[in-house]
Amino acid sequence: MSWPRRRPEPAGRGAADDGGFEQCAPEGAHLSSDSEDERGSAEGASGQRGRRTGRSALPASWGKDKAEPEPEPLTAAQLRIKGITLLARREHSRAELKKKLGRHSDDKALIDEALDQLQAEKLLSDARFAEGVARVRGARFGSARVAQDLRARGVSGELAAGLVKDLKASDAERAQEAWQKRFGEAAEDAAGRAKQMRFLHSRGFAPEVIRRVVPRAKVALRDETDE
């Protein structure tokens, strides 16, 4: 227990008069500053968090994965295997396959080498690809549309022209089939006829073929009766 003790009177005037007594802390007591109290509280909270999570606080940089090494560039043989995988799904033109293999390598010489090998093995063929496109697309579309599709897929103009020439001979028959399946009867007015013509035009049939296929609009006749 601590008792107040008498302290000497201040020598000068104006000193604070607290009755001549000061409170004495018990022996062995340590008075800490505010900063020490705050630091102690933070350390205690950190320790509690560590006990709750079962792990101690570690620097943020610890535990991060190291940067993975850059993958080695593909060889021509590896590019060939990727090309075979793509060709197993469907036929490709050389231009299509070259573009897709370009996603795996920046070496154009190696890509061309792989493509040349695939062509030598008869696994890649522009002619076979173009024939398949013309057969499938030609069943629904006109020769102009088929020619557009072949050019977009990188087929040479000479090869596409030969296939389109054969399709032109049957454009009228295929346009008639498309019209019959979609409409089946003549339009009632000019607006309906124009709609039918636009449909065939969107399918890639030439204007002269469309005019032969789409019948003239029917004219509604009113019987006039004499009263």
| CB count in 10 Å sphere of residue 132 | 13
End-to-end CA distance of the chain: 134
Distance CA 217, CA 193 (A): 6
Distance CA 157, CA 150 (A): 9
Please say if the pLDDT value at position 28 is more than 90.
no
The CATH fold assigned to 171-213 is Arc Repressor Mutant, subunit A (1.10.10)
Please say if the pLDDT value at position 51 is more than 60.
no
Please say if the pLDDT value at position 218 is more than 90.
no
User: Where is average pLDDT lowest: 57-66, 181-190, 211-220?
Assistant: 57-66
Average pLDDT over every residue of 191-209: 94
Pure H helices in the chain: 34-53, 76-89, 94-101, 108-120, 126-138, 143-152, 157-168, 171-182, 190-202, 207-213
Q: Indicate the pLDDT class of residue 61, thresholds 50, 70 and 90.
A: low
Tens of pLDDT along 153-179?
999 988 998 889 888 989 999 999 999
Closest listed residue to residue 96, CA positions, set 105, 104, 86, 106: 86
Q: Which residues, in sequence order, are bridge partners of residue 22?
A: 5
| CB count in 10 Å sphere of residue 201 | 16
Question: Residue 73: its pLDDT value, please?
Answer: 83
* pLDDT over 90, % of the chain: 52
Please say if the pLDDT value at position 149 is more than 90.
yes
Which CATH code is given to the segment(s) 73-124?
1.10.10
Average pLDDT of the chain, as a whole number:
78
Distance CA 162, CA 146 (A): 12
Question: Residue 45: its pLDDT value, please?
Answer: 52
Q: Answer whether 0.75 is exceeded by the pTM.
A: no
| CB count in 10 Å sphere of residue 170 | 13
Q: Indicate the pLDDT class of residue 43, thresholds 50, 70 and 90.
A: low
Tens of pLDDT along 81-123?
999 999 999 999 999 999 999 999 999 999 999 999 999 999 9
Domain with CATH 1.10.10 in the chain: 73-124, 171-213
| CB count in 10 Å sphere of residue 159 | 17
Question: Which region holds residue 3: left if phi is over 0, alpha if psi is between -120 and 50, else beta?
Answer: beta
Handedness of CA 123, 116, 102, 67 (dihedral sign): positive
Tell me how far the alpha carbon of residue 108 is from its chain's centroid: 25
